[in-house]
Amino acid sequence: MGTVLDYLKLSGDLNFSKDPFNDVDALVLSMLSYLPLKDVVPGVNDEGKITLEEAARSYFSEHPSHKEDPENIGLTVSPSMDQELIQMLKMTSKSARYAKIRLSNFVEKTEFPVEQQFAAITYSLPHAKRKKVIAFRGTDRTLIGWKENFELAYMKEVPAQESASAYLDREISIFSGKVIVCGHSKGGNLAVYAASRLKGIKRSRLSRIVNFDGPGFNFSILPRSSFSKCEQKVVNYVPEESIVGVLLDPVGERNVITSSARHLFQHNPVTWGIERSEFLSGELSETTKLFEETVEKWLSQLTLERRKAFIDALFDVLGASEGKTIDPKESLKDIGNVIKNVSDLDEEARKILSDVLASIKDQALDTIFTAIKDKLSLN
Protein backbone atom coordinates (compact mmCIF):
# COMPACT_ATOMS: atom_id res chain seq x y z
CA MET A 1 0.00 0.00 0.00
CA GLY A 2 1.43 3.34 -1.05
CA THR A 3 1.05 6.70 0.66
CA VAL A 4 0.90 10.33 -0.43
CA LEU A 5 4.70 10.47 -0.10
CA ASP A 6 4.99 7.56 -2.54
CA TYR A 7 2.60 9.39 -4.85
CA LEU A 8 4.86 12.45 -4.82
CA LYS A 9 7.83 10.31 -5.82
CA LEU A 10 5.96 8.62 -8.67
CA SER A 11 4.09 11.62 -10.08
CA GLY A 12 6.77 14.26 -9.66
CA ASP A 13 7.73 14.43 -13.34
CA LEU A 14 4.17 14.58 -14.69
CA ASN A 15 2.84 18.09 -15.19
CA PHE A 16 -0.89 18.83 -15.09
CA SER A 17 -1.28 18.88 -18.86
CA LYS A 18 -0.05 15.27 -19.04
CA ASP A 19 -1.77 14.03 -15.89
CA PRO A 20 -4.75 16.19 -14.81
CA PHE A 21 -5.14 17.47 -11.25
CA ASN A 22 -6.76 14.85 -9.00
CA ASP A 23 -7.98 14.49 -5.41
CA VAL A 24 -4.58 13.30 -4.16
CA ASP A 25 -3.12 16.56 -5.49
CA ALA A 26 -5.88 18.39 -3.60
CA LEU A 27 -4.79 16.58 -0.44
CA VAL A 28 -1.17 17.67 -0.98
CA LEU A 29 -2.17 21.33 -1.34
CA SER A 30 -4.53 21.06 1.64
CA MET A 31 -1.65 19.79 3.76
CA LEU A 32 0.70 22.57 2.65
CA SER A 33 -1.84 25.12 3.93
CA TYR A 34 -0.76 24.18 7.49
CA LEU A 35 2.58 25.92 6.89
CA PRO A 36 3.02 29.38 8.51
CA LEU A 37 3.53 31.30 5.26
CA LYS A 38 2.57 34.79 6.43
CA ASP A 39 6.03 36.27 5.74
CA VAL A 40 6.57 34.17 2.61
CA VAL A 41 3.42 34.29 0.44
CA PRO A 42 1.76 37.60 -0.58
CA GLY A 43 -1.33 38.33 1.51
CA VAL A 44 -4.86 39.27 0.45
CA ASN A 45 -3.94 42.96 0.33
CA ASP A 46 -0.73 42.39 -1.64
CA GLU A 47 -0.18 41.95 -5.34
CA GLY A 48 1.84 39.23 -6.97
CA LYS A 49 2.41 35.53 -6.60
CA ILE A 50 5.32 33.32 -5.60
CA THR A 51 6.08 29.83 -6.92
CA LEU A 52 6.10 26.88 -4.57
CA GLU A 53 9.80 26.44 -5.34
CA GLU A 54 10.52 30.05 -4.28
CA ALA A 55 8.23 29.77 -1.25
CA ALA A 56 10.08 26.68 0.03
CA ARG A 57 13.45 28.38 -0.38
CA SER A 58 12.21 31.45 1.51
CA TYR A 59 10.48 29.33 4.19
CA PHE A 60 13.59 27.32 5.01
CA SER A 61 15.63 30.51 5.06
CA GLU A 62 13.20 31.91 7.65
CA HIS A 63 12.99 28.61 9.58
CA PRO A 64 16.33 26.77 9.12
CA SER A 65 15.66 24.48 12.08
CA HIS A 66 12.53 23.11 10.38
CA LYS A 67 14.61 21.79 7.49
CA GLU A 68 17.11 19.97 9.69
CA ASP A 69 14.95 18.89 12.65
CA PRO A 70 11.19 19.19 12.01
CA GLU A 71 10.09 17.05 14.98
CA ASN A 72 7.37 18.64 17.10
CA ILE A 73 7.63 22.14 15.61
CA GLY A 74 3.96 22.81 16.26
CA LEU A 75 2.52 23.12 12.76
CA THR A 76 -0.19 20.49 13.25
CA VAL A 77 -1.66 18.46 16.11
CA SER A 78 0.90 15.68 15.61
CA PRO A 79 4.74 15.66 15.78
CA SER A 80 4.90 12.92 13.12
CA MET A 81 2.58 14.92 10.89
CA ASP A 82 4.90 17.93 11.32
CA GLN A 83 7.83 15.89 10.02
CA GLU A 84 5.87 14.52 7.08
CA LEU A 85 4.58 17.99 6.19
CA ILE A 86 8.12 19.36 5.98
CA GLN A 87 9.08 16.35 3.87
CA MET A 88 6.16 17.12 1.54
CA LEU A 89 7.33 20.72 1.18
CA LYS A 90 10.83 19.57 0.25
CA MET A 91 9.52 17.05 -2.29
CA THR A 92 6.94 19.31 -3.95
CA SER A 93 9.36 22.23 -4.24
CA LYS A 94 11.71 20.03 -6.31
CA SER A 95 8.96 18.40 -8.35
CA ALA A 96 8.20 19.30 -11.96
CA ARG A 97 4.51 18.81 -11.15
CA TYR A 98 4.34 21.21 -8.19
CA ALA A 99 7.37 23.52 -8.16
CA LYS A 100 5.86 26.11 -10.52
CA ILE A 101 2.47 26.29 -8.81
CA ARG A 102 1.99 29.94 -7.83
CA LEU A 103 0.90 30.82 -4.31
CA SER A 104 -1.01 33.97 -3.40
CA ASN A 105 -3.54 35.65 -1.09
CA PHE A 106 -2.41 33.91 2.07
CA VAL A 107 -4.32 34.79 5.22
CA GLU A 108 -3.76 33.49 8.76
CA LYS A 109 -5.36 34.60 11.99
CA THR A 110 -6.04 33.31 15.47
CA GLU A 111 -8.32 35.64 17.40
CA PHE A 112 -9.12 34.91 21.03
CA PRO A 113 -11.91 37.46 21.67
CA VAL A 114 -14.01 36.03 18.81
CA GLU A 115 -12.60 32.49 19.26
CA GLN A 116 -11.39 31.98 15.71
CA GLN A 117 -8.55 30.01 14.14
CA PHE A 118 -8.43 30.44 10.37
CA ALA A 119 -6.01 30.27 7.44
CA ALA A 120 -6.41 30.00 3.67
CA ILE A 121 -4.28 30.12 0.53
CA THR A 122 -4.85 30.28 -3.25
CA TYR A 123 -2.87 28.16 -5.72
CA SER A 124 -2.65 28.82 -9.47
CA LEU A 125 -1.85 25.65 -11.40
CA PRO A 126 0.72 25.70 -14.23
CA HIS A 127 -0.12 23.87 -17.46
CA ALA A 128 -3.81 23.99 -16.50
CA LYS A 129 -5.59 26.91 -18.13
CA ARG A 130 -6.92 29.39 -15.57
CA LYS A 131 -7.46 26.72 -12.91
CA LYS A 132 -7.19 27.70 -9.24
CA VAL A 133 -7.22 25.69 -6.04
CA ILE A 134 -8.27 27.28 -2.75
CA ALA A 135 -7.28 25.41 0.40
CA PHE A 136 -8.46 26.07 3.94
CA ARG A 137 -6.27 25.05 6.87
CA GLY A 138 -7.53 22.48 9.35
CA THR A 139 -7.37 22.63 13.13
CA ASP A 140 -3.93 23.40 14.49
CA ARG A 141 -2.66 23.02 18.08
CA THR A 142 -4.51 26.02 19.47
CA LEU A 143 -7.34 25.16 21.83
CA ILE A 144 -9.30 28.02 20.25
CA GLY A 145 -9.23 26.07 17.00
CA TRP A 146 -10.45 22.90 18.70
CA LYS A 147 -13.22 24.79 20.47
CA GLU A 148 -14.49 26.02 17.10
CA ASN A 149 -14.88 22.38 16.04
CA PHE A 150 -17.09 21.71 19.06
CA GLU A 151 -19.08 24.89 18.46
CA LEU A 152 -20.36 23.39 15.21
CA ALA A 153 -22.73 21.39 17.44
CA TYR A 154 -24.75 24.46 18.43
CA MET A 155 -23.84 27.45 16.22
CA LYS A 156 -25.27 28.19 12.78
CA GLU A 157 -21.97 29.78 11.77
CA VAL A 158 -18.65 29.73 13.63
CA PRO A 159 -16.22 32.63 13.03
CA ALA A 160 -13.88 30.58 10.80
CA GLN A 161 -16.81 29.65 8.54
CA GLU A 162 -17.70 33.32 8.17
CA SER A 163 -14.07 34.12 7.26
CA ALA A 164 -13.93 31.21 4.80
CA SER A 165 -17.12 32.36 3.09
CA ALA A 166 -15.80 35.91 2.71
CA TYR A 167 -12.42 34.65 1.46
CA LEU A 168 -13.87 32.35 -1.20
CA ASP A 169 -16.38 34.96 -2.38
CA ARG A 170 -13.58 37.51 -2.78
CA GLU A 171 -11.16 35.14 -4.52
CA ILE A 172 -13.67 33.79 -6.98
CA SER A 173 -14.60 37.38 -7.91
CA ILE A 174 -11.09 38.47 -8.91
CA PHE A 175 -10.09 35.75 -11.35
CA SER A 176 -11.68 33.73 -14.13
CA GLY A 177 -11.69 30.00 -14.72
CA LYS A 178 -12.68 26.99 -12.66
CA VAL A 179 -11.99 26.66 -8.95
CA ILE A 180 -11.41 23.62 -6.73
CA VAL A 181 -11.98 24.16 -3.00
CA CYS A 182 -10.49 21.77 -0.44
CA GLY A 183 -9.25 21.28 3.09
CA HIS A 184 -8.27 18.72 5.71
CA SER A 185 -10.02 18.37 9.09
CA LYS A 186 -11.86 21.61 9.94
CA GLY A 187 -10.52 22.98 6.64
CA GLY A 188 -12.73 20.49 4.80
CA ASN A 189 -15.78 21.73 6.69
CA LEU A 190 -14.84 25.32 5.81
CA ALA A 191 -14.49 24.39 2.13
CA VAL A 192 -18.00 22.91 1.98
CA TYR A 193 -19.55 25.73 4.00
CA ALA A 194 -17.93 28.53 1.98
CA ALA A 195 -18.88 26.89 -1.31
CA SER A 196 -22.50 26.54 -0.23
CA ARG A 197 -22.73 30.29 0.39
CA LEU A 198 -21.76 31.30 -3.16
CA LYS A 199 -24.49 32.66 -5.41
CA GLY A 200 -25.35 32.23 -9.09
CA ILE A 201 -22.43 32.66 -11.50
CA LYS A 202 -19.85 32.43 -8.74
CA ARG A 203 -21.20 29.06 -7.66
CA SER A 204 -21.13 27.78 -11.26
CA ARG A 205 -17.36 28.35 -11.33
CA LEU A 206 -16.81 25.64 -8.72
CA SER A 207 -15.60 22.41 -10.29
CA ARG A 208 -15.09 20.32 -7.12
CA ILE A 209 -15.25 20.61 -3.32
CA VAL A 210 -13.12 18.13 -1.37
CA ASN A 211 -13.40 17.50 2.38
CA PHE A 212 -10.59 15.35 3.81
CA ASP A 213 -11.82 13.85 7.11
CA GLY A 214 -13.48 17.07 8.20
CA PRO A 215 -16.66 17.27 10.30
CA GLY A 216 -20.09 17.71 8.76
CA PHE A 217 -22.97 19.94 9.79
CA ASN A 218 -25.84 19.92 12.25
CA PHE A 219 -28.97 19.87 10.09
CA SER A 220 -31.17 20.56 13.10
CA ILE A 221 -29.84 24.13 13.16
CA LEU A 222 -28.56 24.51 9.59
CA PRO A 223 -31.03 23.15 6.99
CA ARG A 224 -29.73 20.62 4.47
CA SER A 225 -31.44 22.62 1.73
CA SER A 226 -28.84 25.37 2.17
CA PHE A 227 -26.27 22.97 0.66
CA SER A 228 -28.44 21.63 -2.18
CA LYS A 229 -27.01 23.86 -4.93
CA CYS A 230 -23.45 22.57 -4.45
CA GLU A 231 -23.94 19.12 -2.87
CA GLN A 232 -23.33 17.20 -6.10
CA LYS A 233 -19.84 18.70 -6.32
CA VAL A 234 -18.84 17.67 -2.79
CA VAL A 235 -16.74 14.58 -2.08
CA ASN A 236 -15.72 13.49 1.44
CA TYR A 237 -12.85 11.17 2.30
CA VAL A 238 -12.74 9.50 5.72
CA PRO A 239 -10.46 6.70 6.97
CA GLU A 240 -11.92 3.44 8.28
CA GLU A 241 -11.64 4.41 11.95
CA SER A 242 -12.44 8.08 11.50
CA ILE A 243 -13.42 10.18 14.49
CA VAL A 244 -13.36 13.77 13.19
CA GLY A 245 -14.80 13.04 9.75
CA VAL A 246 -17.95 11.31 11.02
CA LEU A 247 -18.93 14.09 13.42
CA LEU A 248 -22.32 15.58 12.47
CA ASP A 249 -24.02 15.05 9.11
CA PRO A 250 -22.07 14.87 5.83
CA VAL A 251 -22.86 16.89 2.73
CA GLY A 252 -22.29 15.03 -0.54
CA GLU A 253 -20.63 11.72 -1.31
CA ARG A 254 -18.66 9.93 1.43
CA ASN A 255 -15.72 7.70 0.47
CA VAL A 256 -14.09 5.44 3.06
CA ILE A 257 -10.37 4.81 2.57
CA THR A 258 -7.78 2.50 4.12
CA SER A 259 -5.10 3.60 6.58
CA SER A 260 -1.94 2.05 7.98
CA ALA A 261 -2.60 3.62 11.41
CA ARG A 262 -5.18 2.91 14.11
CA HIS A 263 -7.93 4.96 15.74
CA LEU A 264 -7.38 8.73 15.99
CA PHE A 265 -3.95 8.45 14.32
CA GLN A 266 -5.80 7.73 11.07
CA HIS A 267 -6.62 11.46 10.95
CA ASN A 268 -3.08 11.94 9.62
CA PRO A 269 -3.44 11.78 5.80
CA VAL A 270 0.07 10.40 5.33
CA THR A 271 -1.27 7.11 6.72
CA TRP A 272 -3.94 6.82 4.01
CA GLY A 273 -3.66 4.16 1.32
CA ILE A 274 -3.03 5.34 -2.24
CA GLU A 275 -2.47 3.42 -5.45
CA ARG A 276 -1.21 5.51 -8.35
CA SER A 277 -3.47 8.58 -8.20
CA GLU A 278 -6.42 7.12 -6.27
CA PHE A 279 -7.23 6.45 -2.64
CA LEU A 280 -7.69 2.79 -1.70
CA SER A 281 -11.25 1.98 -0.70
CA GLY A 282 -12.09 0.63 2.76
CA GLU A 283 -15.07 0.18 5.08
CA LEU A 284 -16.06 2.04 8.23
CA SER A 285 -15.12 0.04 11.32
CA GLU A 286 -17.78 -1.10 13.77
CA THR A 287 -16.18 1.15 16.40
CA THR A 288 -16.59 4.20 14.17
CA LYS A 289 -20.20 3.30 13.40
CA LEU A 290 -20.94 3.03 17.14
CA PHE A 291 -19.20 6.34 17.79
CA GLU A 292 -21.16 8.08 15.05
CA GLU A 293 -24.45 6.72 16.35
CA THR A 294 -23.60 7.58 19.96
CA VAL A 295 -22.76 11.21 19.17
CA GLU A 296 -25.88 11.60 17.05
CA LYS A 297 -28.17 10.29 19.83
CA TRP A 298 -26.37 12.25 22.53
CA LEU A 299 -26.68 15.55 20.65
CA SER A 300 -30.37 14.92 19.97
CA GLN A 301 -30.96 14.81 23.74
CA LEU A 302 -29.19 18.10 24.52
CA THR A 303 -30.65 21.56 23.92
CA LEU A 304 -28.49 24.09 22.09
CA GLU A 305 -28.14 26.06 25.32
CA ARG A 306 -26.93 22.96 27.15
CA ARG A 307 -24.40 22.17 24.42
CA LYS A 308 -23.02 25.72 24.58
CA ALA A 309 -22.76 25.70 28.37
CA PHE A 310 -20.93 22.35 28.33
CA ILE A 311 -18.46 23.43 25.63
CA ASP A 312 -17.76 26.76 27.33
CA ALA A 313 -17.13 25.03 30.67
CA LEU A 314 -14.95 22.33 29.11
CA PHE A 315 -12.69 24.75 27.26
CA ASP A 316 -12.49 27.12 30.20
CA VAL A 317 -11.00 24.20 32.11
CA LEU A 318 -8.59 23.41 29.28
CA GLY A 319 -7.47 27.04 29.03
CA ALA A 320 -8.59 27.98 25.52
CA SER A 321 -9.32 31.59 26.52
CA GLU A 322 -5.70 31.94 27.68
CA GLY A 323 -4.34 31.05 24.26
CA LYS A 324 -3.05 27.62 25.27
CA THR A 325 -2.05 24.98 22.76
CA ILE A 326 -2.00 21.19 22.74
CA ASP A 327 1.47 19.87 23.57
CA PRO A 328 1.88 16.08 23.21
CA LYS A 329 4.99 16.17 25.44
CA GLU A 330 3.10 17.85 28.27
CA SER A 331 0.08 15.52 28.44
CA LEU A 332 0.58 14.36 32.05
CA LYS A 333 1.14 17.91 33.30
CA ASP A 334 -1.95 19.03 31.35
CA ILE A 335 -4.10 16.43 33.12
CA GLY A 336 -2.97 17.82 36.46
CA ASN A 337 -3.81 21.36 35.35
CA VAL A 338 -7.26 20.28 34.16
CA ILE A 339 -8.06 18.69 37.53
CA LYS A 340 -6.95 21.88 39.29
CA ASN A 341 -8.95 24.09 36.92
CA VAL A 342 -12.13 22.08 37.45
CA SER A 343 -12.01 22.94 41.14
CA ASP A 344 -11.75 26.62 40.19
CA LEU A 345 -15.03 26.57 38.24
CA ASP A 346 -18.20 27.83 39.84
CA GLU A 347 -20.69 25.25 41.09
CA GLU A 348 -23.04 25.53 38.10
CA ALA A 349 -20.24 25.01 35.55
CA ARG A 350 -18.95 21.97 37.46
CA LYS A 351 -22.44 20.47 37.52
CA ILE A 352 -22.86 21.01 33.76
CA LEU A 353 -19.57 19.24 33.06
CA SER A 354 -20.46 16.37 35.36
CA ASP A 355 -24.00 15.89 34.03
CA VAL A 356 -23.07 16.03 30.34
CA LEU A 357 -20.06 13.74 30.69
CA ALA A 358 -22.28 11.26 32.53
CA SER A 359 -24.84 11.42 29.72
CA ILE A 360 -22.12 10.67 27.16
CA LYS A 361 -21.16 7.56 29.14
CA ASP A 362 -24.78 6.42 29.46
CA GLN A 363 -25.49 6.95 25.77
CA ALA A 364 -22.34 5.08 24.76
CA LEU A 365 -23.28 2.09 26.91
CA ASP A 366 -26.83 2.12 25.54
CA THR A 367 -25.58 2.23 21.94
CA ILE A 368 -23.15 -0.64 22.50
CA PHE A 369 -25.81 -2.75 24.25
CA THR A 370 -28.29 -2.17 21.42
CA ALA A 371 -25.66 -3.13 18.83
CA ILE A 372 -24.90 -6.36 20.67
CA LYS A 373 -28.62 -7.25 20.84
CA ASP A 374 -28.96 -6.62 17.10
CA LYS A 375 -25.96 -8.83 16.36
CA LEU A 376 -27.36 -11.67 18.48
CA SER A 377 -30.93 -11.16 17.19
CA LEU A 378 -32.26 -10.88 20.73
CA ASN A 379 -34.91 -8.24 19.99
Whole-number pLDDT of residue 123 = 97
Q: What is the pLDDT of residue 256?
A: 98
Span 218-261, pLDDT tens digits:
998 899 999 999 999 999 999 999 988 998 899 999 999 999 99
Examine the fold and report which residue of 265, 285, 305 is the final residue of a domain before the chain moves on: 285
Task: Please check the confidence at residue 187 and state whether its pLDDT lies above 90.
Answer: yes
pLDDT band with cut points at 50, 70 and 90 for residue 335: very low
Within this chain, do residues 243 and 370 fall inside the same structural domain, yes or no?
Answer: no
Asked if residue 306 and residue 251 are part of one domain, the reply reads: no
Sequence-separated (6 or more) residues with CB below 8 Å from residue 294: 360, 363, 364, 367
Both 130 and 171 in one domain: the answer is yes
Shared domain for 211 and 355, answered yes or no, is no
pLDDT at 298 over 90: no
**Averaged pLDDT score across all residues of the chain:** 84
CATH code: domain of residue 233: 3.40.50
Domain range spanning residue 223?
Answer: 4-285
User: Is the confidence at residue 66, as pLDDT, over 90?
Assistant: no
- Report pLDDT digits (tens) over 139-174: 877 777 777 888 888 899 999 999 999 999 999 998
Based on the domain organization, do 277 and 298 belong to the same domain? no
Per-residue pLDDT tens digits for 29-59:
999 999 999 999 999 888 889 999 999 999 9
Taking the complete model, does pTM exceed 0.85, yes or no? yes
Sheet harboring 102-111: ordered strands across? 50-51, 102-111, 116-124, 132-136, 179-184, 206-212, 234-239, 253-257
* Same-domain check for residues 249 and 304: no
pLDDT tier for residue 72 given thresholds of 50, 70 and 90: low
Residue 88: other Cβ atoms inside 10 A = 22
Which among 228, 255, 285 is the end of a domain? 285
Lowest pLDDT segment from 138-152, 215-229, 263-277, 338-352:
338-352
Helix, strand or coil, per DSSP, at residue 19: coil
Lowest-confidence segment of 31-35, 90-94, 171-175, 273-277 by average pLDDT: 171-175
The verdict on 258 and 371 lying in the same domain is: no
Q: Which residues of 234-266 are buried (b: 16+ CB within 10 A; e: fewer)?
A: bbbbbbbbbbbbbbbebbbebebbbbebeeeeb
pLDDT, tens digit, 9 for 90 and up, residues 95-135: 999 999 999 999 998 776 667 889 999 999 997 667 999 99
> How many domains are contained in the chain?
2
Residues 277 and 360 in one domain: no
Write the Ramachandran bin of 342: left for phi over 0, alpha for psi from -120 to 50, otherwise beta.
Answer: alpha
pLDDT at 368 > cutoff 70? no
Identify the domain boundary among 224, 254, 285. Answer: 285
pLDDT band at 339 (very low <50, low <70, confident <90, very high): very low
- 146 and 79 within one domain: yes
* 362 and 318 share one domain: yes
Residues 266 and 241 in one domain: yes
According to the model, what pLDDT value does residue 70 have? 65
Q: What is the DSSP string of 117-152?
A: EEEEEEEE-TTSTT-EEEEE----SBHHHHHHHHHT
Are 371 and 355 in the same domain?
Answer: yes
